[in-house]
């Protein structure tokens, strides 16, 4: 009984840490979004929207759908490189480092390397999703900042952005269904070709700079 009590205490402690980490991640994400909205100049926004439309094959003045707008905001925050070569999120961390706590800065470092990545849903248990990645078949568990995602189904491929926390990874921002598994295969083929030219290239680094070409693929 004593051992069972210790296990329960440990699980309770880990769940508490998970919830604290999730709450902090949402807070940091919101602060970064607000910072970007306030400080990004018009020139950068125009440049980013032009690049976004061009990569997606949209007409120069095409209005974004609500989903495209959500994806653009997320991409603009984490992946778009400014004229100076920085992401908006890295500028947020740099310019607010004195106001941010140590946990904020640790999670911030995880956000810096995060990317929209394809994952396949294996199991759904309330708000906990078991999935596998495209490049690695190792299963992992995650939750999403919006909690339950009722439209998700097993065996479905999705694009998500996530960071590790305690017990589970934590997904933030838009969730995009992959329209066809062929898109994932194309990504893996493109990554393999890129690795031939750049042997040190990691899957995550490839995603950071190339995933936009695949997000809305047919």
Q: What is the pLDDT of residue 110?
A: 96
Q: Which residues of 181-211 are buried (b: 16+ CB within 10 A; e: fewer)?
A: eebbeebeeebeeeeeeeeeeebeebbbebb
* Site of tokens 């990569």: 55
CB 149 within 8 A of CB 116: no
Say what the pLDDT of residue 6 is.
65
What are the structure tokens assigned to 127, written together? Answer: 């708000």
pLDDT value, residue 154: 65
Residues 6+ apart with CB under 8 A from 143: 22, 127, 128, 129, 168, 169, 170, 171
State residue 165 phi and psi, 5-degree precision. -125, -85
Report the Cα 114 to chain-centroid distance in Å. Answer: 5
**pLDDT tens by residue, the chain, 218 residues:** 455 556 667 788 888 999 999 999 999 999 999 999 999 999 999 999 999 999 999 998 889 999 999 999 999 999 999 999 999 999 999 999 999 999 999 999 999 999 999 999 998 887 889 999 999 878 999 998 876 665 666 668 999 999 999 899 999 999 998 988 999 999 999 999 999 999 999 999 999 999 999 998 76
Distance of CA 1 to the CA centre of its chain: 41
Output 47-56 pairs: Cβ under 8 A, ≥24 positions apart: 47/83, 48/72, 48/76, 48/80, 51/80, 52/76, 52/212, 55/212, 55/213, 56/212, 56/215, 56/216
pLDDT number for residue 12:
85
169-177 and 139-144 beta bridge pairing: parallel
The C-alpha angle 56, 60, 212, rounded to 5 degrees, equals 20
| pTM, two decimal places | 0.89
């Amino acid at each position: 009984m004593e051992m069972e009590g210790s296990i329960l205490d440990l699980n309770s402690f880990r769940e508490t840490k998970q919830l604290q980490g999730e709450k902090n991640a949402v807070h940091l994400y919101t602060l970064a979004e607000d910072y970007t909205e306030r400080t990004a100049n018009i020139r950068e926004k125009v440049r980013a929207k032009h690049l976004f439309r061009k990569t997606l094959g949209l007409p120069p003045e095409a209005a974004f759908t609500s989903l495209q707008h959500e994806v653009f905001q997320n991409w603009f925050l984490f992946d778009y490189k400014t004229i100076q070569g920085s992401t908006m999120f890295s500028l947020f961390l740099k310019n607010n480092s004195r106001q941010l706590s140590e946990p904020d800065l640790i999670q911030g470092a995880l956000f810096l390397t995060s990317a929209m990545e394809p994952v396949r849903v294996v199991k759904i248990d309330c708000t906990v999703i078991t999935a596998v990645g495209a490049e690695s078949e190792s299963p992992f568990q995650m939750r999403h900042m919006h909690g339950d995602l009722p439209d998700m189904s097993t065996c479905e491929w999705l694009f998500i952005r996530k960071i590790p926390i305690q017990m589970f990874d934590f997904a933030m921002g838009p969730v995009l269904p992959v329209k066809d598994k062929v898109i994932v295969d194309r990504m893996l083929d493109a990554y393999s070709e890129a690795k031939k030219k750049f042997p040190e290239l990691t899957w995550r680094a490839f995603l950071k700079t190339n995933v936009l070409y695949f997000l809305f693929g047919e």
